[in-house]
Amino acid sequence: SGKRRAFVSVETIHPAYVKGVIKAPLSKSVLQRAIMLAALTEGETKISIGNPCDDVASALEAASQLGAAVEINGEKVSIKGFANPPHSLVYCGKSALCARVASIVASLYKTPITISGDKQLCSRPAFMIEEALSKAGCNVKSTGGYFPITVCGPLRGGTITLDCSLTSQHLSGFLMALPLCSEDSEVHVEPLFSAPYARLTQKMVAERGGNIYVEDSLRIWRISGGCKFHPVEVMPEGDWSGASFLLCAAALKGEITVTGLRSDTFQGDKEIVEVLKIAGASVECEDSSVSVRRNTLRPFVFDAADFPDLVPPLVALASSCKGESVLIGVSRLAYKESNRIKALIEEFLKLGIDIHERDGNLVIKGGIARGGEVSSRGDHRIAMALAIAALRAKGSVKITGSECVSKSYPSFFGDLRSCLTV
């Protein structure tokens, strides 16, 4: 019989202009949080999931394994929390957000629960979860600081200190779980990056009846215990992270309107609009759409510490800006689906773009990319960044491993091709 070979797809992008209107994919940041909150809510939560990406599918599977009753009907899902006993193993696929939140949710139970996933997930750090939950009185054991991690509670609340130097995803897990604990809690965070996504979690918890107060410094979060979440119906907004690639594609080679993007979003990656303006692109924003048109591009400097997912599309943008662009605060990208710093440098060098790391920053000197063969490194955002950079290349660019975009944006290549013009 022998082992089955993993499917590897190849997308070839030819130099082309883009012009069209595309509906943004649904926000996986919102959907994953909504699904995990539904698993912590007695009663029925209804969520529109559209064409779910792999990470959303992983969150649904994890919610079921954590004891929720999950019923999928077309593009909608019904979730009833605490309907069943939790499984001893919760499998989160490739989703680090799902795994980190599920680890904290698992600590609410008195039985050991192991949080695991595929090989890529098991290379993602979990030491900060082990440290925090252990100090909070839970029995926790990771695999040398990585997933899989086994958690046995119950978490009761109180004062908790979190290391958020690499990620704030476990902070979101605590913000979801602590309201259900018997005690009030105070979470001390040092330092905090990706703060907008913690605020997104705070907002979604508040919509379900949780009470979270955060100081202006975002270093101390106070959570009222003894809460029971009430169900809400969820109609997720569009995903700014995925849309950023389309908006940068327009700035590079044409014009695109992306619909379904809320201007009042808590998603941090809406910052892409401001960067595109600084870089010289023509940008128009409506209540639920953003239009970007190509203009003369200029180099830019951007602090990406709170917006790590914007680095790949901005590298593609910078590759066509005449002069030297600098992306500051990119060190955490070494711990994503791939080592994104290394991946971006090595793959864009294959296209003839002058890019290097300097003092913890990425420096990109704009030029004209050449055609050739590049690799996604199994990372959805690397694949999408290479695809949009290829629009301005001298020749065709072949991207191997392009199937990985299903992690966040399954229809990306179809949406991009629908806009291509000669």
Where in the sequence numbering do the catalytic residues fall? 309
In which region does residue 203 sit, left (phi positive, over 0), alpha (psi from -120 to 50) or beta (all else)? alpha
Residue 249's contacts (CB-CB under 8 Å, 6 or more residues apart) are: 18, 256, 388, 391, 416, 419
8 Å CB contact between 290 and 257: yes
Residue 82's contacts (CB-CB under 8 Å, 6 or more residues apart) are: 39, 40, 42, 67, 68
Before 148, cis peptide (omega within 30)? yes
User: How far is 337 from 200, CA to CA, in rounded Å?
Assistant: 22
Phi and psi angles of residue 54, each rounded to the nearest 5 degrees, phi first: -60, -40
Cα of first residue to Cα of last residue in the chain, in angstroms, is 47
DSSP structural state of residue 26: B
User: How far is 237 from 28, CA to CA, in rounded Å?
Assistant: 9
Give bridge partners of residue 283 from the DSSP assignment: 292
Whose structure tokens read 């990208």? 333
Before 231, cis peptide (omega within 30)? no
Whose structure tokens read 């680890």? 103
Q: Is the dihedral of CA 319, 320, 321, 322 positive or negative?
A: positive
Give bridge partners of residue 18 from the DSSP assignment: 254, 420
